[in-house]
Amino acid sequence: MNVQADAVRTLSYAEALREAMDIALGADQRVVLIGEDIGIYGGAFQVTGDLVEKYGEDRVMDMPISELGGAGVAVGAAMTGLRPIFEFQFSDFATLAMEQIVNQAAKVRYMLGGAVSVPLVMRFPAGSGTGAAAQHSQSLEAWFGHVPGLKVVQPATPEDAKGLLLAALEDPDPVMIFEHKLLYKTRGPVPEGAYLTPIGKASLRREGRDLTIVATAIMVQKALEAAEVLAGEGVDAEVIDLRTIRPIDRETVLESVRKTGRLLCVYEAVKTLGIGAEISAMVAESDAFDFLDAPIVRLGGAECPIPYNPDLERAAVPQVADIIAGATDLAQGRT
């Protein structure tokens, strides 16, 4: 995978992920895709698409509806020489496989004193907005971020989706990729060929002076949209796309807060005990705390399962208007 990235063209987020897998399957015989309906069906969200036609059923493996067993197969295969990319049909279904992810994949290297590595990539279609209600719409990434041994990324753009997937494959340890389902059809520039987006490095998406918005996944797009509106109202928001929630890029966040003195965390997962709490505590425990001009504000998901009714569903997670309102209050002083 040493092809130099050159020309830039536009792809959807799903196409970018597929291109990353296509490159990996073509370059490395050890790479296999394992998941439910990822073959002839092309994946529930058409991410694997027609890869099975190109690489065959031995490389793009449809598995039985056995999330726990399938995840364990991926762990065992990764420990013994393959480079599996495991797709959960919905991130919610990972609840059936937590044993293998949390007790095995994350810990086996440590428990065995470094004698093995688990170079495993898992993909999790996550988030709400599809009308699929409470068991197909969750944002559980913080659960995984709480487990030493795992790395957890949340690409927000097609370019990062491809680059982080290829970086995950290069990584010797288990990397969990949370893909917001509403991002799959979003389009953006994606370099040709293989390139790596660094795991553990946030991206400064918009520079600003008045406040820092730290956002994850689809909230990055919403924050950028909000920032444009805010700019018209005289509020200059800086937007950081966290990209990786484990390990967190501390310095990019702290540096921004030192500059703006105001922090707004925006994420779709349930607000309590989530990534916003971690970012807030990180700032509170650091010298950046001295630079704060106002209390930190978190915008997260409501304290309820994702509801079915479309109005309720929208109300359950931060929307652009919420970010504008939150940022405006925050920029105006102590909230």
Partner 1 sequence: MPDTAAENIPFAVRTYSAEALSEAFRKMLLIRKFEEGAEACYTRGQIHGTMHLSIGQEASAVGACMGLSDADKITSTHRGHGHCIAKGADVARMFAEFFGKETGYCKGRGGSMHIADVAKGNLGANGIVGGGLPIAVGAALAAKRLCTGAVTMCFFGDGANNEGAFHEALNMASVWALPVVFVCENNRYGMSNAVEKSTAVASIADRAPAYSMPGTSVDGNDFSAVAEAVEAAVSSARAGEGPSLVELVTYRWRGHSKSDRNRYRSKEEIAEWMAKDPLAGMSAMLLEHGILSEGDMAEISASVEREIEDAIEYARHSAGPEQAEITRYVYTDLAS
- What is the closest distance, in whole angstroms, from the C-beta atom of residue 317 to partner 1 in the complex? 31
- Measured CA to CA, the distance from residue 9 to residue 326 in angstroms comes to 35
Residue 68 or 229 with smaller CB distance to partner 1: 68
Q: Which residues are catalytic?
A: 67, 136
- What is the closest distance, in whole angstroms, from the C-beta atom of residue 46 to partner 1 in the complex? 25
**Residue 295, Cα to own-chain centre: how many angstroms?**
27
- Measured CA to CA, the distance from residue 150 to residue 174 in angstroms comes to 5
- Give, rounded to a whole angstrom, the gap between the first and last alpha carbons of the chain: 50
Residue 136 or 246 with smaller CB distance to partner 1: 246
Cα distances from 207 to residues 45, 194, 214, 236, 263, in angstroms, run 33, 28, 12, 8, 14
Read off φ and ψ for residue 98, nearest 5 degrees. -60, -35
Long-range CB contact pairs, 273-276, < 8 A, 24+: 273/142, 274/142, 274/298, 274/300, 275/141, 275/142, 275/145, 275/216, 275/242, 275/245, 276/300
Residue 97 or 183 with smaller CB distance to partner 1: 97
- What is the closest distance, in whole angstroms, from the C-beta atom of residue 9 to partner 1 in the complex? 32
If one counts every other C-beta atom within 10 angstroms of the C-beta of residue 64, the result is: 8
Which residues on neighbouring strands pair with residue 31, listed in sequence order?
A: 83
**Residue 308, Cα to own-chain centre: how many angstroms?**
23
- What is the closest distance, in whole angstroms, from the C-beta atom of residue 235 to partner 1 in the complex? 39
- Six-digit token pair at 103? 């007790």
- Measured CA to CA, the distance from residue 303 to residue 103 in angstroms comes to 28
Residues near partner 1 (CB under 8 A): 30, 32, 58, 63-64, 66, 68-82, 84, 99-100, 103-104, 108-117, 148-149, 151, 172-173
Residue 7 or 115 with smaller CB distance to partner 1: 115
Residue 2 or 80 with smaller CB distance to partner 1: 80
Residues found in the chain? 335
Q: Which residues of 85-118 are buried (b: 16+ CB within 10 A; e: fewer)?
A: bbbbbbbbbbebbbebbbebbbbbbeeeeeeeeb
- What is the closest distance, in whole angstroms, from the C-beta atom of residue 194 to partner 1 in the complex? 19
- Measured CA to CA, the distance from residue 105 to residue 327 in angstroms comes to 39
- What is the closest distance, in whole angstroms, from the C-beta atom of residue 113 to partner 1 in the complex? 3
- What does DSSP assign to residue 236? -
- What does DSSP assign to residue 303? S
- What is the closest distance, in whole angstroms, from the C-beta atom of residue 31 to partner 1 in the complex? 10
